[in-house]
Structure 1
């Protein structure tokens, strides 16, 4: 799930993640049984709504995991990506470049919130709904399950400028993306594993068209693109065509959560620049992860689940911080 083009929500078998002391204390309050007494059916409610949404929109799982990703990278996992302009909210993250006319699934989040409020009013945060919806989306697409740590509360501010600068872009160099992950306490293991979220979902032509005809001002396509795949993409995204035409992130199994994202990289069929450069880098540690995940789906699933937990631990609001929004779009 790197940047604008997809959801990137994903993890690794051995993850080195060392939060600072204050952060560790906040994270210690997140646990998988937080709602066991106050809203014991919350996971099944979320899964049911996501499953229903998938029947009419096979993309929605990838879109929901991307919302969680874009939320956590800005002010931590606090539901700020869901806020709309109104009242004290003068600028929304929805209007930031990584989200504008790209982020989607807000209606499904609202449907989940409505269903939960009918059963357990005033208990479950919108930030936790994003984390639970991401897990349900992965599981329903054939991916791994994990115990989602919950107990987050919702933030009171949106940070549009932070969304513009902190969320990795599919057009960025690997060094920059790695730095953005490091800034929120995630390492290259998390980066590679979470990028595997691009094993399902779609991306608009505008997020990779720079690779198709005039890569880096060279007048030629990106040399790391498989020639047959390049021809297909050029047909889907002609130079004067629509910038918003959708393309499968994983051409081999576009709606399934599997390790084909990594096998695609090995054959130079990564859609986004941020994808293919994972296998075009000189970094041996990253190359070994890509090869391992391509050859061992179980290793990828284990890593993805752990990295999703790591990402969900980015500076959550807990205890009496923030609030439990009754409407995810606005403050109480």
Structure 2
């Protein structure tokens, strides 16, 4: 299904100068008026079969923008193409690790032209999806090399995580990033941070990392879902315009696994 739509889109490149670095929502309006319907129908089918797919797609978009360059709604500027190369080293350097400190997160986002509001809003994408035990194990048993848990973890939540993630083995066991509503896009993620139930260190430090701006945003989004949705949509568009490859600078792959 995607192969058909990609072939149609690639056959009719369109040039445009705008504020989106070559991307704009109406890119395929002439060459493929059904583009949005095709994509949405495929996404709806995939997500209905596996709700985790929504989180995977958010993560894919995040990784693409940072490396090679029922919730909120936003108009997506179209035309961002696939890279003809892959860079494992850039992925390891530019993508924030799950044990990142707040300053490390801020620095990595700033490097991509994103600010603290973008950091907290986009972190809210963790309201859906799962994480492997290996991503949060250090918070349970060895936060400071003393074999003790992270003191910011709420006790009941901590005990539940220990049953999922034992001291040895089980690295591929998974836990929801948002334990309360793991398949619903809402602002519960931020409420959980206030209750000491952020799964990753990079989640909890938004509140406990002693940065006034991020702490205030966590509280604001926890109190007002509409503000979170509005900021998330704005930051998604902003992130999507990080060094986009357009026209002949990239390609639309017929198979996501390999270059054409």
* Alpha-carbon distance between aligned partners in 2 of 1:189 and 1:199, rounded to the nearest angstrom: 17
CA shift, 1:26, in A, is 7.7
Report what 1:232 is aligned to. 160
**2:175 pairs with 247, 250, 253, which one?**
247
2:113 aligns to what? 185
Shift of 1:25: 6.6
Any residues of structure 2 matched to 1:113-132 within 5 Å, and which? none
Residue deviations 1:113-154 (CA, integer Å, cap 9, x gap): xxxxxxxxxxxxxxxxxxxxxxxxxxxxx2111100012233
Aligned to 1:173: 101
Matches for 1:275-314 after TM superposition, within 5 Å: 275-314=203-242
Q: For residues 247-276 of structure 1, what are the alpha-carbon distances to aligned partners after superposition, in whole Å with 9 as ceiling and x for unaligned?
A: 011111010000000000010100000001
Match of 1:161 among 75, 89, 111: 89
Deviation of 1:157 after TM superposition, in Å, equals 1.3
Displacement of 1:50 after TM fit?
1.5
Provide the TM-score with structure 2 as the length reference.
0.90
Q: CA deviation at 1:156?
A: 1.7
Deviations 1:307-327 (A, max 9, x none): 000100000012432233333
Deviation at 1:57, TM superposition (A): 1.2
**Residues of 1 paired with 2:21 and 2:203: CA distance?**
33
TM-score by length of 1: 0.71
Cross-structure match for 1:269: 197
Give the number of equivalent residue pairs.
Answer: 244
Residues of 2 paired with 1:215 and 1:155: CA distance?
38
**Displacement after TM superposition at 1:48 (Å):** 1.2
Map of 2:11 onto structure 1 = none
The answer to whether structure 1 residue 36 and structure 2 residue 36 are counterparts is no
Mapped to 2, the partners of 1:329 and 1:150 lie a distance apart of 21
3-state SS in 2 of match to 1:203: strand
Q: Distance in 2 between matches of 1:243 and 1:155?
A: 31
Cα root mean square deviation, aligned: 1.5
CA contact (8 A) 1:26 1:316 kept: no
Distance 2:199 2:257 in 1: 32
Asked if 1:260 is matched to 2:260, the reply is: no
Distance 1:316 1:176 in 2: 24
Structure 1 residue 174, shift from structure 2 partner: 1.3
Dislocated runs of 4+, deviation >4 Å? none
In the alignment, is the contact (CA less than 8 A) between 2:18 and 2:24 conserved in 1? Answer: no
> Does residue 61 of structure 1 match 2:54?
yes
Find the aligned partners of 2:178 and 2:223 in 1 and give their Cα distance: 16
Q: Is the 8 A contact 2:21 2:244 kept in 1?
A: no
Corresponding residue for residue 19 of structure 1: none
List runs of 5+ in structure 2 lacking aligned partners.
1-16
